[in-house]
Amino acid sequence: SQTIHQWPATLVQPVGSPLSLECTVEGTSNPNLYWYRQAAGRGLQLLFYSVGIGQISSEVPQNLSASRPQDRQFILSSKKLLLSDSGFYLCAWSKYGGGTGMGKTQYFGPGTRLLVL
Amino acid sequence: AQSVTQPDIHITVSEGASLELRCNYSYGATPYLFWYVQSPGQGLQLLLKYFSGDTLVQGIKGFEAEFKRSQSSFNLRKPSVHWSDAAEYFCAVGAGGGGNKLTFGTGTQLKVEL
């Protein structure tokens, strides 16, 4: 079976500090990977998605970036955090195959709570 | 582009009562439809999905949803709510063809009174 991990679970960082959140998926190959942010009381905002190693699509202009150094690893980064970066960050994966229902079915990790002070 | 509307931000039901959460989508062709549930501080869990075929789909935890093309709706139902069902529920739609992105609604917060 497939498993998705995110770490850390919680992070408190000062404004202007760097950020690195990691997401890994087990039990599948060549997954589609996604980063979402969920601000308090709001829905999900898609930040980045990736269909393969080194292939990153950005949905929202911001001071965040994403990388996919390995097939099942997805990293969210920032060089300098802003107060507005606080939120709940969710990683998700789906099976490779964009034209199919299975390719669109996303499975979420447990999330990382980020508080920027 | 597709869109999803969940008109109820908050819903309160008594334990044992029936539940219906509304979801309306906007998309020209047959969409791929999903319901997810999120407990506080946790990730989203897939409840059920609709791709094609039978318009009444069964999911986990006793939930079901019905796709109604004429009403552009995909409402989530449960005949008898349990206190553990208190959570936030998200409806999502994916477009046909290539592309893997989902569009999520803003969520409905469910409170269950004992």
Most confidently modeled of A104-108, B15-19, B67-71? B15-19
What residues of A are in contact with residue B102 (Cβ under 8 Å)? 46, 104, 106
Would you state the torsion angle of the CA atoms of residues A76, A77, A83, A89, taken in this order, to the nearest 10 degrees? 10
Q: In whole angstroms, how large is the CA radius of gyration of chain A?
A: 14
Name the residue of chain A whose CA is nearest to B50's CA: A101
Out of A6, A44, A107, closest to residue B104 by CB: A44
Q: How many CB pairs under 8 A join A and B?
A: 55
Most confidently modeled of A97-106, B6-15, B86-95? B6-15
Q: Do B106 and A105 touch (CB under 8 A)?
A: no
Asked if residues B63 and B74 have their Cβ atoms less than 8 Å apart, the reply is: no
- The answer, for B32 touching chain A at a CB cutoff of 8 Å, is yes
Q: Do B41 and A111 touch (CB under 8 A)?
A: yes
Q: What does the pLDDT look like over B27-58, one tens digit per residue?
A: 877 789 999 999 998 999 999 999 888 999 99
* Shortest CA gap B36–chain A (Å): 10
Q: What does the pLDDT look like over B78-112, one tens digit per residue?
A: 999 999 999 999 999 987 655 678 899 999 999 99
Pairwise CA distance, residues B14 & B114, whole Å = 6
Cα A88 to the center of its chain, rounded Å: 10
Q: Tokens at residue A19, please?
A: 């950020």
